[in-house]
Structure 1
Amino acid sequence: MAQNKLKAAILIVSDTASSDPTTDKCIPVLQEVFGDEWDVVESAIVPDDKSEIESFIKKWTDSDQYASCIVTSGGTGFAVKDNTPEAVSPLLHKQAPGLVYGLRSLILKLFTNFDRHAMLAPSLAITPFAMMARPVAGVRNKTIIITLPGSPKGAKENLEAIVKLLPHACQQAAGMNSRALHSGGIKKLEKEAGVASNAASGGTHSHDHHHHHHDHSHGGGHKVPRAHTKPEARPVPNDPSAGPTQRHRKSPWPMLSVDEALDLIKEHTPKPEVAKMSVNERLVGHVVAESVAASESVPAFRASIVDGYAVRIPASGTFEKGTYPVALVSHAQAGEVPELKEGQIARITTGAPLPPGSSAVVMVEDTVLVSQTEDGSEEKEVEILTSEIKDGENVREVGSDVQKGDTIIHKGQTISAIGGELGLLASVGVPQVLAYRKPIVGVLSTGDEIIPHDEARPLKLGEVRDTNRPTLLTAIAGTGFEAIDLGIASDKPGTLEETLRAAFRRTDIVITTGGVSMGELDLLKPTITRALGGTIHFGRVAMKPGKPTTFASVQVKDNDGKRVTKLIFGLPGNSASAIVTFHLFVLPALHHASGIEPAGLPRVKVVVDRDVKRDPERSEYHRVVVTAGRDGYLHAVSTGGQRSSRVGSFMAANGLLCLPAEKGVVAKGEMVDALLMGKIVSEL
């Protein structure tokens, strides 16, 4: 079975067919409807007995090898023995009335669209009695369950009415992220499923309750204007020109979970760009975009791995110890080396090429100098003290490290600062590789109250030194990315727009701090939507600290006139919030744009060394120092007060405890998840 196929199971409920399976006609008919896109992994026939129906449903839904969809056929009427709905309904964890309505709508289509659906005309003879069926549909665990009529024709027509929509339902039931699944709206889903709404085909009034869209069609196909995005995806920010009396009193932005926010960041971050890069220290941190093959072998010649003497083993296969003249010298340098004849030896250094004709190398420790030249500058004769010399001993053969044509670096590998990857590329003479370009990040502080941190004067009332910008610039550089200082933008109308437009010409991602809350001078959101024509993908996250974090994208033209996507991360103005949200949200975007996988901070398990109070409403990212304990576990100690403005809570912090929104405390000694921001220190 192909890995992308969904699994289906068919259960026939019939006393007659259970006694004589040859009488069943439904299984092959339903298998045909499922077609090649599905893999029917199970089918069975049971009598009209509730316990047997329940047994098979549980078997196919409650194991790791669950079916994505189960259809039953039979037992849905009003006869005394028709028990299928009574057996299935108590097993459902969620009801799916929309699928039931979909089945009933088939009957209505046959009547209202008779002129355009003549191929279904034979079914009209049975549709009035189809009203007598009691269909049930819903979800158990990760499986969609649907009850169909007992007749092959009725079962076939009902399944055909909804089979194209089932993959979407099964993906949701299996836990796929709903936002990612619905990205692009209802029209995209209809196109992928190969279906069309009534309105799109000139039919009757259509309601899509699941997506809250309404598509109207009247008469000869005339359509009224219809929005293509969901209302909750397009909140309206404050209009700064309307004054404080007209501003929102409650945020219009839906509160997303951290996971939902991360999914949107992944979805809207541009794919990494490929560039040709030189093999040097600037390649460190880049991900290779195309596998690299060795253009030559390493070593390219037979080389000695010790200091000693190259010898030639005679045809007999045995080297005899004794005194030999030193006929040649081979150093680790370029040049031709004469052939070594039998009965001669050659002094050789580590890494030097073996003279032609050499068989092995004897270590210098296994020799004694016998005589030297008259001027005493060279060895003349050397005694070899051992006969235990084998062919190829102490020799590094051609290609023993790398064979020509071997793949030495695979696509997706990161060039690390340790040096192994660069050394390997250099060893075979690779001058350039294709790698993913890393995005350039700009950091901007906003607010008339912000002054440079190094301005040498006392603060005026209301002024705040800019700690966010230098802190974030340092964090960006520490994670291996290039950062540009964009300075401080005023809260005056138009200033932020001009600053951002200029920043887009120099950067791929802009980080701002401040100006994302509900104040009348919080200009980032209205500037993005009203002035730049951008899209805000989320404006609030259910987390602590960092609730007002904003993520947006803006389409601009690059220097070549090509439309490109630039990202904006509006981080909170409080220092601790800005640093936490950088590591939690901006860093994954940098990784996605650079081809780095997995994206984001590494997650580890740590033992909490003190009680830590939880927040009952928002997930919290608590700053800690993570140490490697003598007991073999990682331990975490809180850095103290976690107020969002307390930048000191990051002093020595190298981790963030991940605390879900719950009442109570994480007790001392409990093990929880943590995200690592830096190097783990050893316990003293």
Structure 2
Amino acid sequence: MTTQNEFSRCVAQYDPHALPVSAAQAIVREWAAPVAAVERVALRDALDRVLAADVMSPIDVPSHDNSAMDGYAFNHAALTNGAPAVELTIAGKAFAGHPFVGRVGAAQCVRVMTGASMPDGCDTVVPQEVVERGADPASITFSADAVGQGANCRLAGEDLARGHAALRAGRVIRASDLGLLASLGIGEVNVRRRLRVAFFSTGDELRSVGEPLDPGSVYDSNRYTLFAMLRRLNLDALDLGVIRDEPAALESALRSAAANADVVLTSGGVSVGEADFTRQLLQTFGDVAFWSLAMRPGRPLAFGRVWSGDRPGAGRPALFFGLPGNPVAVMVTFYQIVREVLLLMSGATPQPLPVIRAASRQPIAKRAGRTEFQRGIAGQDAKGDWHVTPTGSQGSGVLSSMSEANCFIALGHDEGEIAEGERVSIMLFDGLI
């Protein structure tokens, strides 16, 4: 079996001490094997699940030619006599679910409502707004150039033809998809089982909400943000609590997590001075591809694989992400490194996060050689042009900067100082967080 390190060293710019973000993303993406198990669920339980197979349409949608608006259905050939206006006799009416019975003659039309089946012999609908009713209530007149052939008629299978794919495997099912599946008469779909992600925080100073704060202790916020971010992805989140800074306790927690989850996320314990300990511990029953990124915030980030047994290859494997301890760094590394991997392992086909170019309203300090994700408040001016302002202090422990912001300001690896008015890339939180 190829090890993490063997693969990692094949990646351009591989440097486990300070890996460029793009290289780190390539490494973790390569090791994101989708879960194989498939479940069949009812339509109402399928929202935000990942389709395991293409859904083929069992019927044509629409199932019959029908009117796209209220008006009069007729045979367009009736307009070919060269007269500037045409007069048609109304042969009857058709409503959605109540079709007109019989064939329509060349000089006849049928009053139709939106969604009504097109009567036999008709291929065009003239809108009711452009016709005139004369002294004879059983006839209509309108200009011969009012409509072209086939106008305002929806053909059977126009939206979706029988036997064609309605939804593709790897799609995260949305509300509109539920409606589409219901319109096909489909009540159950095959989906991938939910990815199981175990997470815990490390640190003797951490206290859970509800516990008293001792001198020097702080409340653990990272487990709550991790839980929320995992819940947004509709994953099975296993909260293992706070683990003390003890090798035996950490080893036990990691092995237990690997035995019960596909991915293990920890926060804290991988910063300078502690990374060697984590690396050595994991090497006894796993391996580590990298442990530091050329990224701010989020430089200390360990990635590898952990096994539930006492050595690599023994027991059950799980991917491992050792996230930083600072709250903002946890969120940034999750969204920029971990999120896509979780989607891939869920069987989804993730789309690139939308990036918008916006003018910075103030200078931004930045040095080349690392990627930075600053928090910002973005908006649009009267002309629709985007602008962004950093949210004050960008410290990785200032969680309020995430709450105040509505976007990441993404500054590339090779970018330097940003002048006021210079355009930068932003990633809006809407749809992400």
SS of corresponding position for 1:321: strand
1:626 equivalent in alignment to 2:411: no
Q: In structure 2, which of residues 241, 247, 250 is the aligned counterpart of residue 487 of structure 1?
A: 241
Q: Say if 2:112 is the partner of 1:348.
A: yes
Aligned mates of 1:394, 1:675 — CA distance in 2: 41
* 1:46-78 CA distance string (max 9 Å, x none): xxxxxxxxxxxxxxxxxxxxxxxxxxxxxxxxx
Other-structure match for 2:420: 668
| 3-state SS of 1:612 partner | coil
* Partners of 1:288 and 1:444 in 2: CA distance: 29
**In 2, Cα distance between the equivalents of 1:676 and 1:478?**
16
Distance 1:556 1:600, change over 3 A: farther
Give 1:425 deviation, angstroms.
4.1
Q: TM-score, normalised by structure 2?
A: 0.77
Alignment partner, residue 266 of structure 2:
512
Q: 1:543 is matched by which residue type in structure 2?
A: M
Query: Does the 8 A contact of 1:622 with 1:657 survive in 2?
Result: yes
User: Is the counterpart of residue 339 in structure 1 residue 102 in structure 2?
Assistant: yes
Q: Select the residue among 225, 228, 238 that pairs with 1:474.
A: 228
Q: Is the 8 A contact 2:41 2:188 kept in 1?
A: yes
- Structure 1, unaligned runs of 5 or more: 1-177, 185-231, 234-252, 372-380
1:657 aligns with 2:410: yes
How far off its partner does 1:490 sit? 3.1
Matched position secondary structure for 1:657: strand
Other-structure match for 2:196: 440
Q: Which residue of 2 aligns with 1:591?
A: 343
| Partner residue in 2 for 1:452 | 208
2:64 counterpart residue number: 301
> In the alignment, what sits opposite 2:87?
321
Unaligned runs of 5+ in 2: none
Match of 2:156 among 370, 378, 398: 398
Deviation at 1:361, TM superposition (A): 4.3
For 1:182 and 1:492, the matched residues in 2 are separated by 31
Percent identity over paired residues? 30
Instruction: Pick closer, same or farther for the CA change 1:515–1:398 going to 2, 3 Å.
Output: same
Residue equivalent to 1:582: 334
CA distances 1:254-310 after superposition (whole Å, capped 9, x unpaired) = 443333322321232224547365584654555656544433222222222223454
* Shift in Å, 1:590: 1.6
CA contact (8 A) 2:50 2:173 kept: no
Distance 1:634 1:429, change over 3 A: same
1:351 Cα offset (Å)? 0.7
In structure 2, C-alpha distance between the alignment counterparts of 1:565 and 1:384, rounded to whole Å: 75
Corresponding letter in the other structure for 2:96: A
Moved more, 583-592 or 421-430: 421-430
Cα offset for 1:547?
2.5
- The aligned counterpart of 2:22 is 259
Assess if the C-alpha contact under 8 Å between 1:658 and 1:675 holds in 2: no
**Following TM superposition, by how much is the alpha carbon of 1:461 offset from its aligned partner in structure 2, in angstroms?**
0.2
Partner Cα distance (2:99, 2:370) in 1:
74
Q: State the match for 1:216 in structure 2.
A: none
Q: Distance in 1 between matches of 2:419 and 2:324?
A: 30
Partner of 2:257: 503
Q: 1:179 to 1:627 in 2, by over 3 A?
A: farther
CA distance in 2, matches of 1:569, 1:181: 15
Q: Which has the higher contact order (CA 8 A, sep 6+)?
A: 2
Pair 261,393 (structure 1): closer, same or farther in 2 beyond 3 Å: closer
Task: Give the structure with the higher percent helix.
Answer: 1
Q: Distance in 2 between matches of 1:344 and 1:606?
A: 59
2:32 counterpart of 1:269:
yes
Query: What is the alpha-carbon distance in structure 1 between the residues aligned to residue 40 and residue 386 of structure 2?
Result: 39
Moved more, 421-430 or 441-450: 421-430
Map 1:192-341 to 2 at 5 A: 254-271=17-34, 273=36, 275=38, 278=41, 280=43, 283=46, 285=48, 290-311=53-74, 321=87, 324=90, 326=92, 329-333=93-97, 338-340=101-103
CA distance in 2 between partners of 1:286 and 1:330 (Å): 40
Closer/same/farther in 2, CA of residues 628 and 479 from structure 1, 3 Å limit: farther
User: Whole-Å Cα distance in 1 between the matches of residues 134 and 119 of structure 2?
Assistant: 21
2:311 aligned with 1:548:
no
The alignment covers a number of residue pairs equal to 414
Q: Letter of the aligned partner of 2:155 in structure 1?
A: E
Contact 1:331 1:352 in 2 (8 A): yes
> Is contact 1:556–1:565 with CA below 8 Å preserved after alignment?
yes
Match of 1:385 in 2: 141
Question: Which of 1 and 2 has greater Rg?
Answer: 1
Aligned partners of 1:312 and 1:340 also within 8 Å: no
Structure 1 residues 607, 281: closer, same or farther in 2, change over 3 A?
Answer: farther
Q: CA deviation at 1:464?
A: 0.6
1:155-186 deviation per Cα after TM superposition (whole angstroms, max 9, x unaligned): xxxxxxxxxxxxxxxxxxxxxxx9748559xx
Q: Is the 8 A contact 2:88 2:109 kept in 1?
A: no
Question: Quick check: 1:447–1:515 contact (8 Å CA) kept in 2?
Answer: yes
Q: Write the distance in 1 (CA, Å) between the matches of 2:216 and 2:372.
A: 29
- Mapped partners of 2:418, 2:102: distance in 1: 76
Amino acid in structure 2 at the alignment position of 1:428: L
C-alpha displacement of 1:668? 1.8
Q: Establish whether residue 465 from structure 1 lines up as the match of residue 215 from structure 2.
A: no
| TM-score of the aligned structures, taking structure 1 as reference length | 0.51
Query: Does the C-alpha gap of structure 1 residues 635 and 293 become closer, same or farther in structure 2, counting only changes over 3 Å?
Result: same
Give the letter aligned to residue 622 of structure 1.
Q
Deviations 1:370-398 (Å, cap 9, x if unpaired)?
89xxxxxxxxx633233748765543232
Looking at structure 2, the residues matched to 599 and 529 of structure 1 have their Cα atoms a distance apart, in angstroms, of 34
Offset at 1:515? 1.9
Q: CA shift at 1:409, angstroms? A: 3.8
SS across alignment from 1:668 = coil
Contact 2:89–2:109 (Cα < 8 Å) also in 1: no
Other structure's SS at 2:396 match: coil
Q: 1 CA distance for matches of 2:419 and 2:414?
A: 15
Distance 1:269 1:652 in 2: 33
Q: Is the 8 Å Cα contact of residues 46 and 189 (structure 2) preserved in structure 1?
A: no
